[in-house]
């Protein structure tokens, strides 16, 4: 009994650390350069975290284009990041609320 419990605990720990590592490598990255989201469209699997990084000298936001809005970042100054986890399959459009010609799409499979 004690042996089995230890084994189980070990297995669980292994599973958790694997999941942790997987979550990091599976994050999707979008950069903002020259008033453009790059890539403009990304395809991810459900549960993936998308991380946006602003590399412009001008602040931008990442704002859900749907109504009502599910998420909206604070203004991102140079080097600031924002992240959002997409749990459900679908096509999600977003934009910069300061420069609304800047648009991007997240496709969740």
Q: Where along the sequence are the contacts to other proteins (CB under 8 A)?
A: 34-36, 56-59, 63, 65, 74-75, 77-78, 93-95, 97-101, 103
Tokens standing for residue 20: 């942790």
Tokens standing for residue 93: 């459009």
CB-nearer residue toward other proteins: 23 or 35: 35
CA dihedral 103, 105, 53, 61 (to 10 degrees): 40
**Residue written as token pair 């395809």:** 43
CB-nearer residue toward other proteins: 7 or 66: 66
CB-nearer residue toward other proteins: 49 or 99: 99
**Closest separation between CB of residue 33 and other proteins, Å?**
8
For residue 36, give the 3-state DSSP assignment.
strand
């Amino acid at each position: 009994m004690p042996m089995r419990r230890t084994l189980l605990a070990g297995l669980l720990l292994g599973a958790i650390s694997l999941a942790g590592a997987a979550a990091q490598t599976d994050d999707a990255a979008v950069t903002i350069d020259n008033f453009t989201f790059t890539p403009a469209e990304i395809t991810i699997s459900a549960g993936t975290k998308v991380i946006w990084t602003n590399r412009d000298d001008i602040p931008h936001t990442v704002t859900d284009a749907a109504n009502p809005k599910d998420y909206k970042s604070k203004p991102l100054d140079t080097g600031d990041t924002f992240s959002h986890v997409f749990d459900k399959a679908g096509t999600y459009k977003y934009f910069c609320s300061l420069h609304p010609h800047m648009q991007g799409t997240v496709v969740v499979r």
